[in-house]
């Protein structure tokens, strides 16, 4: 199961089965940034900050997410010259975000996460934090896709394009993840 | 079950998914401006480090040259001509005759040397302190905000 999840998360594993969509705007933006245009990077930031936010929200405490988003984009700005293919900006920054989340957990204690996330300013936010905890208890491959779909409001095809995963992988992750989440929430499937 | 709505929000909306979307929407990303100004690019960061090293070396060289200048400006110890003792005067006892060697004044000379050396040493120490401060400042500038933040967290 874990191996299957890893395969679903790895864009290269499915590259042969389904060709990646072309994203010329990223290529142009990356090129312009490398030529010194900072506005180009602001556009990349606006395009991809919900993705990075969603990836982090599936992994680290909410209170840390906003600062980490900024850190990740600053890091990406400094290391952009190492990106060979501008079209791969999405998968590249998604990988940076996942690695940063791993680093965060390596340095911090688990107790911080629980106390931090259950604190909501109102009832709805508290309920949202509870559901987010349930999503975080799902397998890795499902939690990220579900957060991007249910929290960030991205569609399946958008998730596929932004993360570099195949559409089929995202669809499977959404379907299976939603099934597990319904069970945890006590929802009756097919309502 | 048809999961078109889950996939691309098309087809008949799923009320459970809509409810989850409504609740979880409270956690959605709120756009914030990206602050790139506070950070230097990696290339400039390298330049700053190199400049810091160059400045340190320059200050050290300057201090060394000042110190050497001060040392070279000191009056050299005057050469002392050896004056042969006068031949003994006949009729006078040998013990009376004294050689005409001028007496040196070593104590005064040493004191003067010490003062200049101390002044030079103080100048050198001052220059090295400035160099050290410059290096520290440059090092702090090369630290990224995240590194500083992480150091705080680690601390």
Q: How does pLDDT run across A33-79, given as a tens digit for each residue?
A: 999 888 899 999 999 999 999 999 999 998 999 999 999 999 999 99
Q: And the tokens for B149?
A: 């933040």
Closest CA to A46 of B29, B38, B21: B29
Q: Which two tokens stand for residue A57?
A: 């929200």
pLDDT higher for A132 or A113?
A132
Task: Kindly list the residues from chain A whose CB atom is less than 8 angstroms away from the CB atom of residue B17.
Answer: 150, 178
CA distances from A154 to A65, A79, A162, B84 (A): 18, 27, 10, 108
Residues of B within 8 A of A191 (CB-CB) are: 14-16
Domain annotation covers residue B24? no
Q: What CA–CA distances, in Å, run from A25 to A38, A44, A124, A136, B149?
A: 15, 9, 37, 32, 33
B85 band by pLDDT with thresholds 50, 70 and 90: low
Range in A56-60, B30-34, B133-137, B143-147 with the lowest mean pLDDT: B143-147
B155 pLDDT higher than 80: no
pLDDT digits (tens, 9 = 90+) for B12-45: 999 999 999 999 999 999 988 887 765 555 455 5
Domain annotation covers residue B146: no
What does the pLDDT read at residue A73? Answer: 95
pLDDT of residue A79: 92
Interatomic CA distance for residues B147 and B143, integer angstroms: 6
Q: What is the ipTM metric for this complex? A: 0.77
Whether residue B23 and residue A128 make contact (CB cut-off 8 A), yes or no, is yes
The pair of structure tokens assigned to A112 is 């911080």
Domain for residue B14, yes or no?
no
**CA–CA min distance B66, chain A (Å):** 42
How many C-beta neighbours within 10 Å does residue B112 have?
12
A147, A151, A165, A191: best to mutate for the B interface, most B CBs within 10 A: A151
Highest mean pLDDT among A110-124, A171-185, B48-62: A171-185
Residue B147 pLDDT greater than 60, yes or no: no
Chain A residues closer than 8 Å to B3 by CB = 174-175, 178
Residue B33 covered by a domain: no
Counting one residue from chain A and one from chain B, the pairs whose CB atoms sit within 8 A come to: 99
In a domain, B60, yes or no: no
B89 domain residue, yes or no = no
Q: Is residue B2 part of a domain?
A: no
Q: How much is the pLDDT for B34?
A: 83
Give me the number of domains chain B comprises: 1
| Between A90 and A22, the higher pLDDT residue | A90
pTM for the structure as a whole:
0.59
Determine contact, residues B99/B83, Cβ cutoff 8 Å.
Answer: yes
- Give CA–CA dist A171/A160, Å, rounded: 9
Q: Are A145 and A181 in contact (CB under 8 A)?
A: no
Measured between beta carbons, the chain A residues lying within 8 angstroms of B27 are 57, 62, 125, 128-129, 132, 151
- CA neighbor of B78 nearest in space, from B98, B105, B117: B105
Give domain status of residue B122, yes or no. Answer: yes
Confidence of residue B64 (pLDDT cuts 50, 70, 90): confident
Containing domain of residue B118, as a range?
Answer: 110-141
Distant-in-sequence, close-in-space partners of B132: CB < 8 Å, separation ≥ 6: B56
By CA distance, what is B7's nearest residue in A? A156
Note the pLDDT of residue A49: 95
Look at residue B111 and tell me whether its pLDDT is greater than 50: yes
The answer to whether residues A163 and A11 touch, using CB atoms and an 8 Å cutoff, is yes
């Amino acid at each position: 199961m874990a191996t299957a999840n890893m395969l679903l998360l790895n864009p290269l594993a499915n590259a042969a089965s389904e060709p990646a969509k072309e994203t010329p705007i990223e290529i142009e933006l990356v090129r312009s940034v490398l030529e010194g245009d900072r506005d180009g990077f602001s556009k990349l930031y606006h395009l991809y900050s919900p993705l990075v936010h969603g990836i982090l929200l599936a992994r680290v405490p909410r209170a840390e997410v906003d600062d980490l988003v900024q850190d990740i984009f600053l890091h990406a700005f400094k290391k952009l010259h190492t990106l060979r293919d501008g079209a791969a900006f999405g998968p590249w920054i998604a990988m940076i975000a996942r690695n940063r989340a791993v680093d965060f957990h390596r340095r911090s204690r688990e107790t911080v996460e629980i106390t931090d996330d259950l604190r909501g300013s109102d009832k709805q936010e508290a309920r949202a934090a509870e559901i987010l905890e349930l999503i975080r208890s799902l397998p890795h491959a499902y939690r990220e896709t579900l957060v991007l779909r249910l929290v960030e409001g991205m569609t399946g095809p958008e998730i596929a394009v932004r993360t570099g995963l195949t559409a089929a992988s995202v669809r499977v992750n959404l379907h299976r993840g939603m099934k597990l989440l319904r069970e945890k929430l006590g929802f009756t499937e097919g309502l | 079950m048809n999961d078109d709505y889950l996939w691309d929000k098309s087809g008949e909306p799923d009320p459970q998914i809509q409810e989850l979307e409504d609740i979880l929407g409270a956690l959605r990303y709120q756009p914030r401006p990206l602050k790139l100004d506070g950070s230097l690019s990696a290339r400039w960061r390298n330049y700053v480090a190199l400049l810091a090293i160059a400045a340190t070396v320059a200050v050290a060289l300057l201090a060394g040259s000042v110190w050497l200048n001060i040392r070279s400006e000191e009056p050299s110890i005057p050469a002392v001509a050896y004056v042969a003792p006068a031949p003994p005067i006949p009729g006078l006892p040998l013990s009376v005759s004294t050689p005409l060697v001028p007496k040196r004044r070593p104590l005064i000379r040493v004191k003067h040397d010490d003062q200049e050396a101390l002044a030079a040493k103080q100048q050198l120490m001052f220059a090295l302190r400035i160099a050290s401060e410059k290096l520290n400042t440059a090092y702090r500038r090369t630290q990224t905000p995240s590194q500083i933040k992480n150091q705080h967290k680690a601390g």
